[in-house]
Structure 1
Amino acid sequence: MAYSGSVQVGGPADVHELTGLMISKVAVGPMNNNAYLLRCRATGEQLLVDAANDAGTLLRLIGDDGIASVVTTHRHGDHWQALEEVVSATGATTYAGRDDAEGIPVRTDVPLADGDTVRVGEVELTARHLVGHTPGSVALVYDDPHGHPHLFTGDCLFPGGVGNTFGDHDAFLSLLQDVETKLFAQLPDETWVYPGHGDDTMLGTERPHLAEWRERGW
């Protein structure tokens, strides 16, 4: 079956098979968070994006091959509830945005700044620091040499808008500016977007609405 990006808590993972990378998306409770398991097809090495919750679900998804690393997209608690248990079970190296690391109660082995790279086997991901939802949120870009880019946005970009900035207009403007300059300005419309909650989207679907988002202020 073709990948849809639509998953439900308690349901099966949906798998996006690329030439060099397999992306397995699963939803975990209680806040319907998405977690993504990335597997390099050449080496079998695996990386998890957001050990959000339900460690048992995530460890079953990871399987016997384990994971080399976990990237936490930001410091909010619903994105790291299973991190300690997953790291304890797998020995994975932990990554998070440099300015959010202190808010994550599991040690960050590798703090990320804008433009830093994270590798999973032969696949390279580029971190983009996006300020506003939290001080140190990071998105991950996989610029697929065999196709279009793939973008893991945490809670910074969703279908229909940027992430919640909790009524802070300055934070909203910061986040929108970063999303516009570091994502929309640098990546094509065909870029597939994998958010921290809910369904996937594409940059081309969202691009026509940037001015509308700025006008409405959220």
Structure 2
Amino acid sequence: MSIDRLVTSGSFSLDGGTWEVDNNVWLVGSGDEVVIIDAAHDAAAILGAVADRRVTAIVCTHGHNDHIDAAAEVAAATGAPILLHPADQVLWEMHYGSDVPYVPLKDGQVIDAGEVALTVLHTPGHSPGAVCLHARELGVVFSGDTLFQGGPGATGRSYSSFETIIESIEDRLLTLPEETIVHTGHGDSTTIGAEAPHLGEWLHRGH
């Protein structure tokens, strides 16, 4: 059983602005097969990290272009389906139009990643279809851009809501065991226990 982190670099564009970003791409699986979480920016680097393993799914934690922009190329190379929550359809179409199909994710769905199960937690706020993936057996949650080291993901742009992301974090993430490791969409990992005490500060900061 392995969790591999690959950092790729590219740009994020929304609301007429573009920013250079580094993204975490997570590969979760066994020696034979792997699930890719957030195929960002660099298909060649991602395929290199996959090596000779079979890709069973490309899961998008949300539809912002910096998390999906290599998904179509990786899917074409591997034959793996792309999974996205349909509430992010509008964001998906901003990047891909209607040309690239995906399989709709739903809350509570379980994705098989080799020797581990990833449970989908719908955590809207950063975007309407944002999801986290909880690997209970490993004590790990992949949070996308919902929760970072130091607080919630950004909610200052279109299709996002501060109140909603706080509700998602409080109800879906802070209820996980405090030792749960949080592997984020950007930057360093953290734990539920490290972030939970700061909920009040985030609420104060957001208003």
Shift of 1:167: 6.4
Assess if the C-alpha contact under 8 Å between 2:181 and 2:190 holds in 1: yes
Question: Deviation digits for residues 119-142 of structure 1, max 9, x if unmatched?
Answer: 123421111111111110010000
Question: Deviation digits for residues 61-103 of structure 1, max 9, x if unmatched?
Answer: 0112231110011010001111111001000011111211453
Q: Which residue of 2 aligns with 1:70?
A: 58
1-side partners of 2:151 and 2:114: how far apart?
32
Q: Percent identity?
A: 39
| Gap change, CA 1:62 and 1:167, over 3 Å in 2 | closer
Question: Deviation digits for residues 22-74 of structure 1, max 9, x if unmatched?
Answer: 00001000210000011135xx2211001011111101001122311100110
TM-score normalised by length of structure 2: 0.87
Q: Which residue of 2 aligns with 1:120?
A: 113
Q: Which residue of 1 aligns with 2:153?
A: 163
Q: Which residue of 2 aligns with 1:108?
A: 102
Q: Quick one: which amino acid aligns to residue 25 of structure 1? A: R
Q: Give runs of ≥4 in structure 1 deviating > 6 Å.
A: none
Task: Work out which of the residue numbers 163, 166, 170 in structure 2 matches 1:173.
Answer: 163
Count of residues paired in the alignment: 190
Q: Which residue of 2 aligns with 1:204?
A: 193
Assess if the C-alpha contact under 8 Å between 1:151 and 1:191 holds in 2: yes
Give yes or no for the alignment of 1:190 onto 2:184: no
Task: Work out which of the residue numbers 190, 205, 216 in structure 1 matches 2:205.
Answer: 216
Give yes or no for the alignment of 1:87 onto 2:75: yes
**Structure showing the higher helix proportion among its residues:** 2
1-side partners of 2:43 and 2:139: how far apart?
29
RMSD: 1.6
Assess if the C-alpha contact under 8 Å between 2:29 and 2:115 holds in 1: no
Question: Deviation digits for residues 135-176 of structure 1, max 9, x if unmatched?
Answer: 1001000001xxx520001111001110100168x8101110
SS of corresponding position for 2:84: strand
* Unpaired runs of at least 5, structure 1: 1-20
Q: Which residue of 2 aligns with 1:34?
A: 24
Give yes or no for the alignment of 1:99 onto 2:92: no
2-side partners of 1:107 and 1:139: how far apart?
21
1-side partners of 2:132 and 2:197: how far apart?
21
Assess if the C-alpha contact under 8 Å between 1:46 and 1:68 holds in 2: yes
TM-score normalised by length of structure 1: 0.82
1-side partners of 2:206 and 2:91: how far apart?
27
Q: Which residue of 2 aligns with 1:48?
A: 36
Q: Which residue of 2 aligns with 1:6?
A: none
2-side partners of 1:81 and 1:136: how far apart?
17
Assess if the C-alpha contact under 8 Å between 1:115 and 1:128 holds in 2: yes
**Structure showing the higher strand proportion among its residues:** 2
Q: Which residue of 2 aligns with 1:23?
A: 3
